[in-house]
Structure 1
């Protein structure tokens, strides 16, 4: 999978997650208003919110990795020699891959359990394998993005590699240029 295709896929998935958040926000506002005025509630709004939150979180994690928007201690990193900073970048990328792998493994187990027991949500009687599959897909995107970032870190070692979205500047608002070196 090419980097550009991965970026487009992750960006599209993150936008879907973002639109899901907007839809949930509207649903919660409507639910609050009708609960206060008409004394009724939207059944399953908490479950729907949880499903959307899971999908949006997984896609946002992949999006953040591809744009190098994750939190780094740039002040400390700028004080370190370039080789040590590069080693820390590689270690961070390895840890993202490992954590992502653990998350994928656990979510795959939950998906298997939901399929095996034909589990459904409490209020909506909605098959739980669907949100588990969506969350697993988002986590797989996160692991792929993390692997791509790790490969890029190794390819550019010991120099810092730019975000996959491009160098710092207009194309990548999440990357801070390292003018201190």
Structure 2
């Protein structure tokens, strides 16, 4: 089970990185087309239809898909200063409480994001750009990121309880 969860976290992180690279390629392509339009010998306006919409959707997807990966690699800002002020006897309880609370909030967010995706699908909501995209598609990537984050927070909570100490996750700098 540990390998499966780590694989899901890593996979979502890799997908997020791929989406960031795709945003860079898309924006670079549009900038080149703008330069060709402005300085080229052609009297034609070259553009990628709805490129800003696509970049925005990819940015939202990459942001949410990266959350669990970043959490599990220790990249999130943690409030260790506050935990260090807590008496040592309560430190574990405070850590478990914080992780469980975050898991509940992430689960709550996942539930309502699911409802939004379902509603967009049922009503056939489409984007308003030149290229109309069913909104449930980019919304589903945000939902996937939230669900994976919820799983990661539950995973960390269980690990902390089982080990009897806060799980210190460090960034892998290899």
| 1:6 and 2:12 correspond | no
1:71 aligns with 77
Q: Residues 4-38 of structure 1: CA distance to partner in whole angstroms, max 9, x if unpaired? A: 21111121121111111111112112212322431
| 1:27 and 2:26 correspond | yes
Tell me the distance in 2 between the aligned counterparts of 1:139 and 1:145. Answer: 10
1:48 aligns with 54
Tell me the distance in 1 between the aligned counterparts of 2:56 and 2:146. Answer: 16
Residue 120 of structure 2 aligns to a residue in which SS? helix
2:162 aligns with 155
1:82/1:64 CA distance change after superposition, 3 Å: farther
Q: Choose which of 136, 139, 148 in structure 2 pairs with 1:132.
A: 139
TM-score normalised by the chain length of structure 1: 0.80
Tell me the distance in 2 between the aligned counterparts of 1:49 and 1:95. Answer: 32
| 1:113 and 2:113 correspond | no
Which ranges of structure 2 fall in alignment gaps of 5 or more residues?
38-44
Deviation at 1:101, TM superposition (A): 1.4
Which ranges of structure 1 fall in alignment gaps of 5 or more residues?
175-181
Runs of 4+ in 1 over 6 A off after TM superposition: none
Corresponding residue pairs, total = 165
RMSD of aligned residue pairs (Cα, Å): 2.0
Tell me the distance in 1 between the aligned counterparts of 2:89 and 2:159. Answer: 15
TM-score normalised by the chain length of structure 2: 0.83
| 1:144 and 2:143 correspond | no
Deviation at 1:99, TM superposition (A): 2.0
Report which of the two structures shows the higher radius of gyration computed on alpha carbons: 2
Tell me the distance in 2 between the aligned counterparts of 1:76 and 1:115. Answer: 43
Q: Which is helix-richer, 1 or 2? A: 2
Tell me the distance in 1 between the aligned counterparts of 2:113 and 2:82. Answer: 35
Deviation at 1:108, TM superposition (A): 0.8
Q: Residues 32-82 of structure 1: CA distance to partner in whole angstroms, max 9, x if unpaired? A: 232243143211112111221222112211112222332123345445433
Q: Residues 88-109 of structure 1: CA distance to partner in whole angstroms, max 9, x if unpaired? A: 3212212221221122122112
